[in-house]
Structure 1
Amino acid sequence: MIFLFFALVFTFLFGIVQVRDEQMVPAVKEGDLAIYYRLDKNYRKGDVIVLDDNGEKQVRRVIAVAGDTVDITADGLVINGYIQQESDIYTDTEPYVSGITFPLTVDEGQVFVLADSRPNAEDSRLYGAVAVDGTHGKVITLIRRRGM
């Protein structure tokens, strides 16, 4: 019964994904287990979410929600005309040559996500805004597994 209970809980309410890249450093590191809540998809700026990219689960941070205009200029990341001061991001935010064109207004039912470690990261600068329905859920906790 206990096994069945946990199987149901982690099938319908929660999910676990092992982070397989260093693109969310320093907040989330390779090898960490991210536990996410499947039912709350009312994302806000700053939320860390789990999504699919080419069949692989990624952990990314929501930067903009529906109605926001995102631009990347020489000054950095600009949302709704304001330069973003991101205290936990230690690298410059730059657009990709082969990525989407800016400025971009996020449509209803979509979010714009970026990795915390911005250089060479696979995020919305490459594939555009992400449909909320295509995401798995919001990360609620991390279990550090480095060195185990």
Structure 2
Amino acid sequence: MANKKKEWFDWLKALLLALGLALVVRMFLFSPIVVDGPSMLPTLHDKDQMIVNKIGYKIGEPERFDIVVFHASAQKDFIKRVIGLPGEHVAVKDEVLYINGEPVEEPFLSEQKRNLGPYQTLTNDFTLEELPGEFTTIPEGHVLVLGDNRGNSTDSRMLGVISMDQIVGKASLIYWPLDRMRIVGE
């Protein structure tokens, strides 16, 4: 009888340890997110399920074109692409991204730009000064984010620059649906 109690107690310890470890991993290292809406098309699709790396930005900074998840409000997280970094000036003119006055290629938009009709635009012209906050350069501890589906995205053009404190982590792996499983942002 004592042997059965010990075995039961060992199973309980293992279960509690597994639950505790899962909680730590989810809270501090990785968590799942489901893409909600078309704002990152064609890169990410509505209902894509992804893993968010929460620890990467605790030891490093976001890089241009990283896909990040951030708290847009207390109830809602958004997923967008980092376009501008601290200290930079960002503008878009005639479908060209300019960082500090220099054109920067956005390879993830190439196909969308090729498919534009003669009087269509993918990204309406803007400068950093025209965005909420009216900054001349992106402040330290902030980034500028845009959705890949520029005509249907609530991003820094409406929200202003995003504080690093709002960023949950980098979204880099689609794990569902299986036919879309891949690493993104590479």
Q: Report the TM range for the smaller structure's normalisation.
A: 0.7 to 0.9
RMSD of Structure 2 on Structure 1 (CA): 2.2
User: What are the superposed Cα offsets for residues 122-145 of structure 1, whole Å, 9 maximum, x if unpaired?
Assistant: 001111110011110111311233
User: What are the superposed Cα offsets for residues 1-24 of structure 1, whole Å, 9 maximum, x if unpaired?
Assistant: 323322221112112111111111
Deviation at 1:87, TM superposition (A): 2.1
Aligned length: 145
User: What are the superposed Cα offsets for residues 11-68 of structure 1, whole Å, 9 maximum, x if unpaired?
Assistant: 1211211111111111111111121111222101011100122331111110011011
Is the contact made by 1:110 and 1:130 (CA closer than 8 Å) also made in structure 2?
Answer: yes
Is the contact made by 2:95 and 2:123 (CA closer than 8 Å) also made in structure 1?
Answer: no
Task: Give every structure 1 segment of 4 or more consecutive aligned residues whose post-TM-superposition deviation is greater than 6 Å.
Answer: none
More helix by percentage:
2
1:8-87 matches, within 5 Å, as: 8-41=24-57, 42-54=61-73, 55-87=75-107
Q: 2:123 aligns with which of 93, 99, 102?
A: 93
**TM-score normalized by the length of structure 1:** 0.86
Greater RCO (CA < 8 Å, at least 6 residues apart): 1
Deviation at 1:103, TM superposition (A): 7.4
* Unaligned residue ranges in structure 2 (runs of 5+): 1-16, 114-121, 180-186
* Unaligned residue ranges in structure 1 (runs of 5+): none
Percent identity of equivalent pairs: 26
**TM-score normalized by the length of structure 2:** 0.70
**Larger radius of gyration, structure 1 or 2?**
2
